[in-house]
Amino acid sequence: MVGARFLLFCSACLLAGESEARRYKPTPPPPTVEELSEILKMAYEAYTMKAIESTTGDEVAALKSRVATLARQLVMQQLFVEERVRSDGDSGIKQVRHHFEGTRPYHAASHTGNTFASMHDHANNIRTVGLGEFIAVLNGVEFRTRHNDYGLRMPSTTSSTYHEVEDIPFPDVPPEVLQHHDVAGQITELREWFKAWKKRDRSERDYRKYFKPVLCYLEGAWTFSDKLEESFASDRHFLDAASWFDLQEKVRYTSYSGGKSNLENFSYLPTTIMNMINGTLPQIAQWNYRVLCHPLKRDLPVNRFRVVDDLMARMAKKKTLKEYVTTRAARFTLNPFDTDEWVDGRKNYGLVDDLMAEIPGKDNYGAELYDDAFDAVAYPYNSTDNTKKLNVGFYHRWVRVGSRDAMGRTERHRGFADQNVFMARTTQPNVAGVEVNVCKGWRRNRCTLYNQKWTYAIPLEVVYMTPLLKWNPYEIQYKGDKSSTLARTVTAGGRWGSSRDSARALNGTNSKRFYQTPHEFFGGNEQGRSSADTVKGKAGVLDRAGRLHVVKASGTRIVLPYIPGVGSLRTRYPIMPVHGEGSAVWKELEALKDIVLSPVENAHMFHENWRDDTSEGVVLLTGKAKGDEHVHRVVLSADDVGMLKLGRTVLVESGEAKGHYHEVKIRVRANGRFVMVRCDGARNCADGHGRSLTVAPPEDVDVANDGMI
């Protein structure tokens, strides 16, 4: 905002007439962002007034051009910062709030610590998913969120109105459960469904209709909005500020003083000069973000997730990887190949692209937009059909274009080198766009004006909705939103949820006291509790007839309490990417981690064979060549033999015979025999040496160990 303040200063001095400037005036109060836009507009209008131009025309024109130059430099300054952040890393989470530290740097939190992305549970709320504050980067724009606590809501399926959302419908309870008339019978049957989901066993119970994955995402955009705008509702947190300016001042104050709002209701959201209208009138845009969800159309088996080994968190917690997976610190990645088995390898368009492609940008589900900027029409990545363009109103990273780039490629990824950024086009007037005029032809007179608006997103987590959201065997009355009159009867007269005293038990449930799952369904308590959690272990709730039942919370949890005979099931799989992973250092670090953590698989990476010091070198003889029957000797070092024992191949040069040698690749068969799998890059040697290699007689070995071939 330094820039905007400077501009304000300039326009204020321009507005003041010469004589007025000499008179004493008290310092005016600081303007709001809204006023700022207004002042700039007035200043612009003032320049164009004939009266002023005729008296001080030259001066005004000169000032006008200087303001334009300075504002232009501010636009470029913002671009510079974004470009710098883009090359530092990818879109993703960067840091959570600091709560603890220790003797080693990794005792403090990064993107994870005790919990990844400050995730926690508000299972006592019907629709709330607990998520704290964090710093994230989306397409080079770094910002800090408020305490998020988002709801299970999705873009509107019927309207294209800006930020119109609807509640995601909860899955039903399997009829096989409801057909039992006793609660014990229902409990037993429902546990079987949880078991089927865990084991991905559809043979007897097709769980897919009742366990529904929801993909929640973080979306950001440059917006035009004069008034402070809450871009997504939280049942628990709201931005605690009256205007954008107010919010900025509060954030500035807390950053300066190191303080914080107890309620974690401030977010740091940058502003920028987006465009210069007619070259002189700055157009200010406000960065804003939201967390929203989408019910996936397909089933997503839980084995598609693999835990990411964030060593710092695991080290601080002193856990094995297996123990670590069950903690709230763990995060996951999706198997891009969408297969039961994980195989590491390169893959462009993958599973996450398929899933994100179901999510629309800010035009909501009815979006239908295409991209033909710079004459490169975007097509779906995996199609070769040039009659069907890609609907870029939905989130995507990979596209195919009709014409080749300077590197001869038609496959493109959004961003210069951002692995994670998904983008979607929008037509919302509230979203700030950029336009560019591209002229072609010999005289550059065939011009096209491209004017597009884009929003950015990254996947945040997959939340599995289970039948627990609807299952209500005691038929406890749900009284709706917590602030309604009816909902207030739940806690009226000091009712807090006692499980012994009917007079203190909750009278029905509401959006913030959502307890309806029989206590006996679970065999344990809430898992991995944190201070941000609000859920009670159990509560006493009255049904319609006033009977007391002991129940547990029925909302969304990271890990469900233990279910007897089934286990501890995770229902939230965070897959938010990490900003730093896009840096060269982190990529190198991941390679090093793989080598250190899987030394056998990556034995070929070591410069010295330090594992297997019992291996000895060996001299082999190739099979006879066709015709003159010459053979070559092949000398393997102790390192080579160690490598072969690990099941890897080694590439060596054979000794010379008949004035030539071969480049051979060798492997050891399960029966211990050495075979040549490649010879001079081909399956077989051109002069016909047999593929099996024999160990040379001892007299040859002595020579070989002297280093002679």
- Residues 190, 467: contact at Cβ < 8 Å? yes
**Is position 236 an interface residue for ligand NAG (rule: CB under 6 A)?**
yes
- Residues 564, 77: contact at Cβ < 8 Å? no
Task: Find the binder of ligand NAG among 489, 498, 637, 684 (CB under 6 A).
Answer: 489
**CA-based angle 155:161:166, to the nearest 5?**
30
Query: Rounded to an integer, what distance in angstroms lies between the CA atom of residue 572 and that of residue 120?
Result: 10
Query: Rounded to an integer, what distance in angstroms lies between the CA atom of residue 454 and that of residue 317?
Result: 41
- Residues 222, 274: contact at Cβ < 8 Å? yes
**Rounded least distance, CB 587 to ligand NAG, Å:** 27
**Is position 358 an interface residue for ligand NAG (rule: CB under 6 A)?**
no
Full strand arrangement of the beta sheet holding 548-553: 506-507, 539-542, 548-553, 515-518
Q: Nearer to ligand NAG by C-beta: 282 or 518?
A: 282
- DSSP H/E element including 67: helix 50-88
Task: Find the binder of ligand NAG among 9, 238, 496, 610 (CB under 6 A).
Answer: 238
- For residue 152, the 8-state DSSP code is S
Q: Which stretch binds ligand NAG (CB under 6 A): 213-221, 235-243, 590-598, 675-683?
A: 235-243
Overall residue count recorded for the chain in this entry:
709
**Rounded least distance, CB 145 to ligand NAG, Å:** 13
**Rounded least distance, CB 280 to ligand NAG, Å:** 8
**Is position 242 an interface residue for ligand NAG (rule: CB under 6 A)?**
no
**Is position 240 an interface residue for ligand NAG (rule: CB under 6 A)?**
yes
User: Which residues in the 113-142 window bind ligand NAG by CB under 6 A?
Assistant: none
Closest CA to 10 of 50, 46, 43: 43
Task: Find the binder of ligand NAG among 12, 76, 263, 438 (CB under 6 A).
Answer: 263
Q: Which stretch binds ligand NAG (CB under 6 A): 110-118, 177-185, 273-281, 570-578?
A: 273-281
CB neighbourhood size of 702 (10 A): 10
Q: Nearer to ligand NAG by C-beta: 359 or 634?
A: 359
Q: Nearer to ligand NAG by C-beta: 35 or 240?
A: 240
Q: Nearer to ligand NAG by C-beta: 238 or 253?
A: 238
- Cα dist. 336→348, 412, 519, 601 in Å? 8, 18, 39, 21
Residue with smallest beta-carbon separation from ligand NAG: 238
End-to-end CA distance of the chain: 74
Q: Which stretch binds ligand NAG (CB under 6 A): 4-12, 49-57, 276-284, 557-565?
A: 276-284
Burial (CB count within 10 angstroms: exposed 0-12, middle 13-18, buried 19+), residue 196: buried
Q: Nearer to ligand NAG by C-beta: 277 or 596?
A: 277
Task: Find the binder of ligand NAG among 237, 400, 513, 572 (CB under 6 A).
Answer: 237
- Residues 561, 525: contact at Cβ < 8 Å? yes
Query: Rounded to an integer, what distance in angstroms lies between the CA atom of residue 478 and that of residue 125?
Result: 12
Q: Nearer to ligand NAG by C-beta: 100 or 238?
A: 238
Which residues are bridge partners to 306 per DSSP?
Answer: 333
Q: Nearer to ligand NAG by C-beta: 228 or 638?
A: 228
Q: Nearer to ligand NAG by C-beta: 118 or 622?
A: 118
Q: Which stretch binds ligand NAG (CB under 6 A): 275-283, 369-377, 463-471, 584-592?
A: 275-283
**Is position 382 an interface residue for ligand NAG (rule: CB under 6 A)?**
yes
Record the tokens describing residue 614, joined without a space. 């019992």
Q: Which stretch binds ligand NAG (CB under 6 A): 237-245, 301-309, 561-569, 662-670?
A: 237-245
Record the tokens describing residue 163, joined without a space. 């930020």
**Per-residue interface string for the shown chain with ligand NAG, residues 441-470, x marking contact by CB under 6 A:** ------------------------------
- For residue 109, the 8-state DSSP code is -
**Rounded least distance, CB 384 to ligand NAG, Å:** 7
Task: Find the binder of ligand NAG among 27, 103, 257, 278 (CB under 6 A).
Answer: 278
* # chain residues binding ligand NAG, by CB under 6 A: 18
- C-alpha R_g of the chain: 33
**Is position 265 an interface residue for ligand NAG (rule: CB under 6 A)?**
yes
Closest CA to 168 of 302, 365, 334: 365
| Amino acid identity for residue 273 in this structure | I
| Amino acid identity for residue 618 in this structure | V
Q: Nearer to ligand NAG by C-beta: 291 or 668?
A: 291
**Is position 383 an interface residue for ligand NAG (rule: CB under 6 A)?**
yes
Q: Which stretch binds ligand NAG (CB under 6 A): 2-10, 97-105, 106-114, 274-282?
A: 274-282
Contacts of 704 (CB under 8 A, 6+ apart): 617, 619, 633, 635, 696
Determine the angle formed by the axes of helices 50-88 and 2-15, rounding to 10 degrees.
Answer: 180
Record the tokens describing residue 527, joined without a space. 């898992």
**Is position 281 an interface residue for ligand NAG (rule: CB under 6 A)?**
yes
**Phi, psi values for residue 660, rounded to 5°:** -145, 170
Contacts of 100 (CB under 8 A, 6+ apart): 107, 108, 109, 113, 114
Q: Nearer to ligand NAG by C-beta: 85 or 542?
A: 542
Query: Rounded to an integer, what distance in angstroms lies between the CA atom of residue 498 and that of residue 492?
Result: 13
**Per-residue interface string for the shown chain with ligand NAG, residues 22-61, x marking contact by CB under 6 A:** ----------------------------------------
Q: Nearer to ligand NAG by C-beta: 314 or 479?
A: 479
Q: What residue has token string 């955009």? A: 221
Q: Nearer to ligand NAG by C-beta: 179 or 382?
A: 382
Record the tokens describing residue 495, joined without a space. 């009712």
**Rounded least distance, CB 61 to ligand NAG, Å:** 16
**Rounded least distance, CB 350 to ligand NAG, Å:** 9
**Is position 686 an interface residue for ligand NAG (rule: CB under 6 A)?**
no
Please list, residue by residue across 305-340, b when 16 or more beta carbons sit within 10 angstroms of its beta carbon and e when fewer do. Answer: bebbbbebbbebeebeeeebbbbbbbbbbbbbebee
**Is position 277 an interface residue for ligand NAG (rule: CB under 6 A)?**
yes
Q: Nearer to ligand NAG by C-beta: 4 or 560?
A: 4
User: Which residues in the 523-582 window bind ligand NAG by CB under 6 A?
Assistant: 542, 546
**Is position 246 an interface residue for ligand NAG (rule: CB under 6 A)?**
no
Closest CA to 313 of 96, 600, 459: 96
**Rounded least distance, CB 49 to ligand NAG, Å:** 13
Residues that bind ligand NAG (CB under 6 A): 236-238, 240, 263, 265, 277-278, 281, 354, 382-383, 486, 489, 507-508, 542, 546
